[in-house]
Amino acid sequence: MSDDTTESRTSDRIQRNRALANWEPGYPGEDIDYYEEYIHRHADVNVDWINLPNTGGGDKREVREATGMAILSNNGSQNIVSPLDDGTICVWDVAPRTTTLDGGRAKLLGQSNAGLLTGSASSGRSHTLMTEIGAVECVSIDSSASKGYFAVQNVLQEVDLQTLQVSSTKKYPSPITALSCCQPGMPLSVGTSWTVHLHDSRDLSTPSGTDDTAQLIGGSVNAHAALSQPGPLSILNQHDTSSIWVAGRFTSLLNYDIRRFPRLLGTIHSGARIASLTSLPYPFIPRSLDLVRNPDASLTALQTARSKPGTTLLAAAEYKGKGSLELHDPSGKDSYQNRQTASASKLLSVAPHGGRIVFSDGDGNLRWMERDGSTLVRQYNINSETSADATTSGIFSSSASGMPGQGDIVQKVLPLRACKSDVGSERPDVPSEALMLWSGDGRIGCLSFGTHNPIKPDDSWHDAVEEKSLSAEERAREDAERQYDLRMRRALERNADEVRFVRGLGMASF
């Protein structure tokens, strides 16, 4: 064998080892299930939606809309807590299936009285109060105390999730736009249009009629941080560093320390407007250590950087009309902003998902990236399963992705993390880490991989049998209805295309 051939094989082996080390999603000490990773990367995606409660009867039956979503975890249980547009709070069991237990199947565990969060018996009035602000991070759950915090307008309601009754209320000077997650040893952070507060559940409820704005101007005993620009949309509490990160419609991430609150410790300039902020409990890896894109990068340097303690801030943002997936070093020394391949529309939500990062955009897409923030793993559009035969043009579709759609989006994603210690000796089914989705149309669903979905009802096979047993006349009527809906949608899409065409010629003023 010639020396050239030997050197070529050695070089190929070195390049392959560098590529594998560069791809490796796990950090030292992290327990990654690679079989589950394989399933999440290659198995079929399926989405099922929870049946929300109905109101009324007969032809006037109305399906309620979810106005928020959070996870309640306790003693191996996984529950979804959601306020509805009539002021109701609902709790569903979405526990994962194990070798002996069939899972929660989205069983409705509890439902409060209508108007609990609004104090109004009018469904229309409650709908206005629950949806007017449009805050995404409007629910925060304290699983250890089985309490929930719900923001409605400028009022924060503390609810006992065992009895589904309001425990206390507190008013703030302006509408609440964001709540942080509840973490042990840290107060709940509350963001309003112009301020950031640390909520203390021991505070007495604010009496009705009290002018909180005047209190703030005169110097309230409760410290608050005033914002120079309005619009916080996401607040991240970090227990290990006692840090509070605030992001939103302004173009910087604001850093506070609860020990020195409300003093601003520092900022990280982004330039984008951030809709969702979360963290990866591992150190930020600079792009200069990318072993594939940077041939001069050292494998030893990459391994050393991975082994250090640290945190990476993840942000879903919008920059000049396009999506921006951002990874920041909390120290502010380095960051990476993917504004080229993340999305053609603004990003709405982001979360770590196994060895990947998942985020949603304004076209209804869910995309999974490697932890480098630039390598696409796979993508899925939530509208594809409901409109597979729809045209991909017009205002109701996702032109950016080329996938059919009816315009729904995912405004929040929450991974369902199955803790093996919580289920005792039972083995969770693989894959166990499904995604809970809250859509822009007020639906709550579960995205899973493979054939099993944690919220699919037990009698789902009965539905399939009943569908097959429909008479020929009923099937023909249903087919005719679907065809009519499709024709109407295409007509609306053509009309929208004509409006855009005329507007582009400068012949329309609307």
CA pseudo-torsion sign 131, 78, 55, 159: negative
Q: Fill in the DSSP letter of residue 369.
A: E
Say what the pLDDT of residue 222 is: 58
Which pLDDT score, from 0 to 100, does residue 304 have? Answer: 93
Under 8 Å between Cβ of 350 and 316: yes
Query: Contact 261/255 with Cβ under 8 angstroms?
Result: no
Prediction pTM value: 0.82
The H-or-E segment that residue 438 falls in is: strand 435-439
CB 66 within 8 A of CB 84: yes
Question: How high is the pLDDT of residue 402?
Answer: 38
* Residue 408 DSSP SS3: coil
**Which residues, including other chains, have CB under 8 Å from residue 165's CB and lie 6 or more apart?**
112, 116, 159
Please name the amino acid found at residue 328: H
Residue 107 CB burial class (10 angstroms; 0-12, 13-18, ≥19): middle
Fold of the domain spanning 43-55+62-469: Methylamine Dehydrogenase; Chain H (2.130.10)
For the chain of 510 residues, list the mean pLDDT of each consecutive stretch of 10.
Answer: 71 85 91 90 92 66 88 86 96 81 83 94 91 95 94 96 95 96 89 93 50 40 82 91 93 94 94 96 93 88 93 96 96 94 96 96 95 94 61 36 60 79 52 87 92 66 44 68 72 75 57
Q: Residues near 488 by Cβ (< 8 Å), separated by ≥ 6?
A: none
The predicted structure's pLDDT at residue 198: 94
pLDDT of residue 280: 95
Burial degree of 157 (CB within 10 A; 0-12, 13-18, 19+)? buried
Element (H, E) at 198: strand 195-199
Position 53, amino acid: P
Helix (H, G, I), strand (E, B) or coil at 213: helix
Q: pLDDT at position 347, please? A: 97
Q: Residue 429 has what pLDDT? A: 59
Query: Which residues neighbour 476 within 8 Å (Cβ) at sequence distance 6 or greater?
Result: none
In 3D space, the residue among 101, 88, 18, 6 whose CA is nearest the CA of residue 55 turns out to be 88
